[in-house]
Structure 1
């Protein structure tokens, strides 16, 4: 299997852990390092041209985020996806976004629309270029922004707890999604329009359906 880091130049000597973290995380989010893949710190360090210490720190951060699991005496692996766990995460995400959207309608203004549409534009560009890691970043940012727009101080805290799991379980922007990524971006533009309509019940239903997969 070819290394996902073959074309990576040697990292600079500053902030090595952050750079190693960004590169490994990007490979996981893009699916280059697939679920179940073993992460061998010494091999990654060699490929990245750094010592093993910054890679070890990067892996610890990824474990904390839920993207990697570390098993005693067995090593570290990209987290595999359980259908049951993914279903539970979708259910909780749906409830959270349903509540957030209902409140976000009350705070939706021109600035909020502009911000969300910038994120949708980012998704469109990432879809065209095939940059799935960037797509997932814009996708996650979109939903995080709606949760923050709710004005409920507890909902963003709950989202922050869930976000690593949503990424790790590929609940948001699944690299294995077989459909049209451009259409996926457009589905978010439709969510913007629903918020702009000002109907709280309709917005809540739209975000619940989107989160649980009723709408792609």
Structure 2
């Protein structure tokens, strides 16, 4: 009985490792939009069976980083410029509202210390990732920062809407543009500026700064 319980756990952990490896390649841009995820080839390179690879690819599809086409296979997510523009428009509304709400709550001695700590933690993670040259870690911290802003708003619907959008944002690279060739450390400091705006700039100023960030008006959006 103990042996039976242990076997699925081993398979899941192996799938997690495959998922993390392939996901890192997608986020870093080494696997490009439209590249096919050939399960047999991935399994061969990682020296595992196809079962954990299949599970890992399913997770990537669910997360929005990959797309599955019946009878054709799975591919790194590829989207049109129109879809990217539409996602940016929705993101702008979400971020502007979230920033305004957080700044309004700040005046009432809210959000909680834990919420501010979560935001500061992601800014520090971006700084560390920039210093390491770890683009994948930077992008994860970037999207986590914006998710944390929604959570700090106190509006229970904003995190839910963000959760619906997040797979698309990851796939579209809206949060972290893969073509960005500037200073990652400067981009981290731009997020520090966004955090400062939430703390002291006032609701309308904070909303305007986040809206500019979402539009890409701030370099390294």
Residue 60 of structure 1 corresponds to which residue in structure 2? 58
SS in 1 for 2:174: coil
Q: Displacement of 1:175 after TM fit? A: 2.9
Stretches (4+) displaced over 6 A: none
CA contact (8 A) 1:101 1:204 kept: yes
What's the TM-score, normalizing by structure 2?
0.88
What is aligned with 1:115?
A: 118
- Are the counterparts in 2 of residues 101 and 146 from structure 1 also a CA contact under 8 Å? yes
Match of 1:7 in 2: none
Equivalent pair of 2:126/2:138 in contact (CA under 8 Å): yes
Bigger proportion of residues as helix? 2
Gaps of 5+ in 1: 1-11
Offset, 1:174: 2.5
Change (3 A) 1:196 1:33: same
Question: What displacement does 1:115 show?
Answer: 2.9
Q: Secondary structure at the match of 1:15?
A: helix
Structure 2: distance between partners of 1:112 and 1:136 = 20
Separation in 2, partners of 1:187, 1:202 = 15
**1:39-118 superposed matches below 5 A:** 39-105=37-103, 106=105, 107-108=110-111, 110-118=113-121
2:148 equivalent to 1:150:
no
- Decide whether the 8 Å contact of 1:132 with 1:175 is kept in 2: no
1:109 is displaced (CA, Å) by 5.7
Q: RMSD of the TM alignment (CA)? A: 1.5
Task: Note the alpha carbon deviations across 1:157-194, whole angstroms, 9 max, x for none.
Answer: 00001101100110112232122111111110100111
The structure that has the greater radius of gyration is: 2
Deviation at 1:73, TM superposition (A): 2.0
